[in-house]
């Protein structure tokens, strides 16, 4: 079975999708055949990789609710070699209502990945910013969760909330998901306020904080708008290097 990691943060604007897309790319460029699953109805990861499924195209929505049995039809290639995408679309919003009364509704993604991850070494799931059935599916399908951390007090509270959610999911549904690491994102190393907050975060979470620091980089939104990961859009950008360090961290966990 492929290694599975959910990138989850219960706060909008923490750079969750940016980390999911560019970490998946960094791992794929190392030769790991990687599948990125976009579980966010806003489809930011899908758009960031240049995909735009039409109404007749299969997406994760059709796969989850059982409308698409040929899962290979739903997976698309990306600009990065060895990186495939199971895309999302706005219609994924309907899945929470359609699956609400289904038995084993929290394990739909897990069953889906059991059928399709044998050809991959790594699966990364980009979660929505809220805790609903889609995020619950991601946490039940992935033994590991990676949490982006903004260097801000509100983000610290969101990390604590995620840890509480993971604990509740584990005890309530009998899974064994763990928060494998916290990834500081949008770091401004030159400001004293950021340095002080970073020290506070490191003091609170200790070894849970990964070594990598994803710096604030204007090239990242430009890359997403162009439908490319930063490694292909601006390979010499600071953040392209930072994601290589993050990939190093994830590789040894």
Domain ranges within the chain, ordered by starting residue: 3-243
Give per-residue pLDDT as tens, 79-98.
999 999 999 999 999 999 99
Q: Exposed, middle or buried, 51 (CB in 10 Å: 0-12/13-18/19+)?
A: buried
How would residue 68 be classed by pLDDT, with cut points 50, 70 and 90?
confident
Lowest mean pLDDT among 28-32, 206-210, 241-245: 206-210
Q: What is the mean pLDDT of the chain?
A: 91
Task: Kindly tell me if the per-residue pLDDT of 49 is higher than 90.
Answer: yes
* pLDDT score recorded for residue 58: 94
Closest CA to 147 of 24, 9, 253, 249: 9
Distance (Å) of CA 181 to CA 5, 45, 165, 234 = 11, 21, 15, 26
Fold of 3-243: Rossmann fold (3.40.50)
Cα separation, 174 vs 70, whole angstroms: 30
pLDDT (tens digit per residue) in 13-24: 778 999 999 999
Backbone angles phi, psi at 180, to 5 degrees: -80, -20
190 pLDDT band, cuts 50/70/90, is low
Q: What is the pTM of this model?
A: 0.94
pLDDT of residue 193: 66
């Amino acid at each position: 079975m492929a290694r599975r990691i959910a990138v989850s943060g219960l706060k909008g604007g923490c750079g969750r999708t940016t980390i999911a897309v560019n970490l998946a790319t960094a791992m794929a460029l190392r030769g790991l055949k990687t599948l990125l699953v976009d579980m966010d109805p806003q489809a930011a990861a899908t758009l960031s990789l240049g995909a735009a499924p039409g109404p007749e195209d299969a997406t994760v929505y059709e796969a989850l609710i059982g409308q698409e049995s040929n899962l290979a039809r739903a997976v698309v290639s990306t600009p990065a070699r060895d990186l495939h995408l199971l895309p999302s679309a706005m219609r994924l919003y309907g899945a929470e209502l359609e699956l609400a009364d289904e038995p084993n509704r929290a394990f739909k993604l897990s069953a889906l990945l059991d059928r399709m991850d044998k050809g991959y070494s790594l699966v990364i799931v980009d979660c929505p910013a809220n805790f609903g059935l889609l995020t619950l599916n991601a946490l039940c399908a992935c033994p590991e969760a990676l949490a982006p951390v903004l260097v801000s007090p509100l983000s610290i509270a969101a990390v604590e909330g995620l840890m509480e959610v993971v604990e509740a999911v584990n005890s309530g549904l009998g899974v064994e998901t763990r928060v494998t690491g916290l990834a500081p994102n949008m770091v401004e190393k030159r400001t004293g306020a950021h340095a002080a907050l970073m020290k506070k975060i490191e003091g609170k979470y200790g070894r849970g904080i990964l070594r990598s620091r994803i710096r604030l980089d204007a090239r990242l939104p430009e890359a997403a708008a162009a439908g490319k990961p930063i490694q292909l859009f601006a390979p010499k950008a600071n953040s392209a290097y930072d994601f290589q360090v993050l990939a190093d961290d994830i590789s040894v966990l």
